[in-house]
Structure 1
Amino acid sequence: MTKRTPPYSPEVRERAVRMVFEHRDEYASQYEAILSIAAKIGCSRETLRHWVRQAERDQGLRPGPMSAEQKKIKALEREVRELRQANEILRKASAYFAQAELDRRFKP
């Protein structure tokens, strides 16, 4: 699996989120601030909205998992998936060898 580089650097993300927080009062709503700043930064409004929501979760302003928690959840889900695959392989191997043992015992 190839790892793709994100189109926006962490510095750009942090700057855009900081701009939304700093200039929120100049707009009628946070979403209008996001629309305006997204156009200036050159990203989509949804992308910036996701960044802002995650920053709010990381700061404890919004309920939900923080960035570190999300990384840990993702790693644990990957580990569970790998362990399930390993268990399936072992289950099939066990069945194969059990059948081979039965075939060997009853051959005349």
Structure 2
Amino acid sequence: MPKPYPKEFRDDVVRVARGREPGVTVEQIAKDFGVHPMTLFKWLRQADIDDGAKPGPSRVDSVELREARKRIRLLEQENEVLRRAAAYL
């Protein structure tokens, strides 16, 4: 899996794409920065969600959800171990 772009880089590219002059396409900006156009479109969509312009889960919500799922998975594993241990006692 490719290494993710740094947050500062993504924010700079989104800022440039939002402030582009008429006639300049998102594809041209993506090419100038060396990213795929679909990647830039995803970054723009996520920035709109994070800014509250569009509905959806923000980055913060996604991180919290990922951590909660990891914690739930760990607790389920611990419960399974305790259930098996109780069967032997």
SS of structure 1 residue aligned to 2:53: coil
Across the aligned residues of Structure 1 and Structure 2, the Cα RMSD in angstroms comes to: 2.1
TM-score normalised by length of structure 1: 0.71
- 1:16 corresponds to 2:16: no
Post-superposition shift, 1:11?
A: 2.0
Aligned to 1:78: 70
1:89 corresponding residue in structure 2: 81
Q: Using the alignment, how far apart are the partners of 1:88 and 1:80 within structure 2? A: 12
Give the deviation of 1:7 after TM superposition: 4.0
Q: Percent same amino acid among aligned pairs? A: 34
Structure 2 unmatched runs, 5+? none
Q: Please list every run of 5 or more consecutive structure 1 residues that lacks an aligned counterpart in the other structure.
A: 98-108
Aligned partner of 1:26 among 22, 29, 33:
22
Aligned residue pairs total 89
Q: Which amino acid aligns with 1:53?
A: R
**Deviation at residue 71 of structure 1 after TM alignment:** 1.0
Instruction: Give 1 or 2 for the bigger CA radius of gyration.
Output: 1
TM-score (norm: length of structure 2): 0.85
